[in-house]
Amino acid sequence: MVALAASPPDGSITLVRRAWEPTDLSHAVFAVGAMDDDVEAATFRDAARSAGVPVNVIDKPAFCDVQFGGIVNRSPLVIGISTDGASPVFGQAVRARIEAVLPRGLAVWAAAARSWRRRVSALDLPFRARRRFWELFADRALASPDKLPSPALAAALETAATDMAPASGRLTLVGAGPGDPELLTMKAVRALQSADVIVHDDLVPSAVLDVARRESQRISAGKRGRAPSCQQDEINALVVRLVREGKHVVRLKAGDPMIFGRAGEEIAAAEAEGLALEVVPGISAAQGAAASARLSLTHRDHARRLQYVTGHGRDGRLPVDLCWTALADPTASTVVYMPGATWHEMAERLLAEGLAADTPVLAAGTVGSLASRLATRRWSGPLLILYGNAFGVRADAGGSEAPAMAEGGRKLQPVP
C-alpha cells in the first residue's frame, strides 16, 4: 500500500497513517477492511452499513456484503471465479487452471460473435436456424481458437444454418499420454472437450476420459493380445461412419499414437475416405516410464542413441527382422514395447549377441535375471522394458534404485 501510494496509477490514492474512524466512511462508495479481530471487523461492517456503503472485510465472509472474485479475461468473454471468501488462494488456483486451458484466441471469436450478431439477426432466420448458426460458430471457435474468424466463414455458417445441412465431420487422432491427465497437452484437452464421440483404447484410464465434455459418446475399442478384441478394420470402419454422420470423432490412443499405436493404418484409412484429419501427439509410454523412475533416456557419457522396438510382431511372436547388432549395443538406450510373451527369447538372443548380462534394465534386476522373474509374474496390461547403460547411472552415483517395470503404459511397478 505504501508503494502504491508513492507511485499511484491514474486517479487519486491517499495514504493516511492512523486507525480508521466511522466518519471516514461518510462519503465513501465502497469500504474494504483488513482486520484480524472479529469485534473490530463487526464494528467496521456496522459503520459502513450505517453510512450506506457496501463493505468487504478481507478473509472474513461473515462480515461482507460483497466478495471479490478472480476473472479470466478474454474480453468480451469474461469468466468470474469466487469461493465466497472461503479460500481466496484456492480461487486463485482455479483461476490459473482455467487461464491455462482457455485459449487467448477466444477473445477474437467472442468479439466476432458480437459484431456478427446484428448481421445474423438481419437474416430473419427461424429460431432453429439461428441456433444452428451459433452452434456451428462455437464448434469452430473451440476446435480452432487460433484461426481468425473471417467474413467467408460467416457466409459459410449462414449457408449451413439456412440449409440445415449436416455439419462436416472430422477426425482428431489424439495421444492420451501415459495415463495421468496432467500430462495431456492443451491441444489434446481442447479436442476432448469439443468431441462428439470418443473412440478410445482399453488402456486409456477413466481419469483421462473425465477431461472430455460430459455429453460426448464414449466407445471402447480395446485391443488385447490373446483376448477378444476389436479388429483394426472394424475400428477404421466405425470411425469413418461416425465422421460421415457429421460428428467430431476423437480417436484416443494411449501414449503417443505415432509410436507402435497403428496410427499409420488409421491415418491411411481416413485419407482414403477423404476425411478431415488432425493428429495431436502425446507423451509416449517410454518417456512416462523414464520420468517416473527419474532416469534420463539419453546420457552424454552412456547413451548417445535412443531406439524403439516392438517385441510383438503381427503373429504375436518376436519379429524375425530385428537388427540384433543394434539391439545388443549397451551404449544405446533401448525401449521394447509389448515384450510380455517374448522377452525370454529376446533376452537370450541379446546375451548371445554380446550384450553383457549386467546391463541395467528399467526393472528390479538385470538383463541376465529379468526373464526368469517375468515368468513368475502375471501382467494385466502390455509391458514396457527399457535397457542400456544409461539406466544404471543413478545407481552408480549412489542414488536409490528406482522401480523398473512399466505396465499398461501408465505406471512403474517393481518386479518382486
Mind telling me the catalytic residues?
201, 223
Mean model confidence pLDDT for the chain:
85
| Residue 25 predicted with pLDDT over 60 | yes
pLDDT at 316: 85
pLDDT at 224: 61
3 state DSSP class of 346: helix
Spatial CA neighbour of 335 closest among 142, 162, 178: 178
- Residue 80: beta bridge partners? 71
Rounded Cα distance between 165 and 43, Å, is 65
Residue 226: how many other CB atoms lie within 10 Å: 8
| Helices 106-122 & 127-143 angle (0-180, nearest 10) | 160
- Which residues fall within 8 angstroms of residue 212, CB to CB, at 6 or more apart? 192, 193, 195, 198, 218, 250
The per-residue pLDDT for range 136-151, each reduced to its tens digit, is 899 889 888 888 999 9
Tell the CATH superfamily of the 286-391 domain: Tetrapyrrole methylase, C-terminal domain (3.30.950.10)
pLDDT at 397: 47
Fold of 170-283: Cobalt-precorrin-4 Transmethylase; domain 1 (3.40.1010)
Q: What is the mean pLDDT of residues 70-99?
A: 89
Cα separations in angstroms, 166 against 130, 219, 275, 276, 297: 15, 22, 15, 15, 48
Burial call 56-69: b when 16+ CB within 10 Å, e when fewer? bbeebeebbeeeee
Rounded Cα distance between 292 and 402, Å, is 9
Q: What is the mean pLDDT of residues 293-317?
A: 91
Q: 280 and 172 in contact (C-beta within 8 Å)?
A: yes
| Residue 162 predicted with pLDDT over 50 | yes
Q: What is the mean pLDDT of residues 114-143?
A: 87
pLDDT at 406: 37
The pLDDT-based confidence of 374 (bands split at 50, 70, 90) is: low
pLDDT at 337: 92
pLDDT at 307: 96
Q: What is the mean pLDDT of residues 267-271?
A: 96
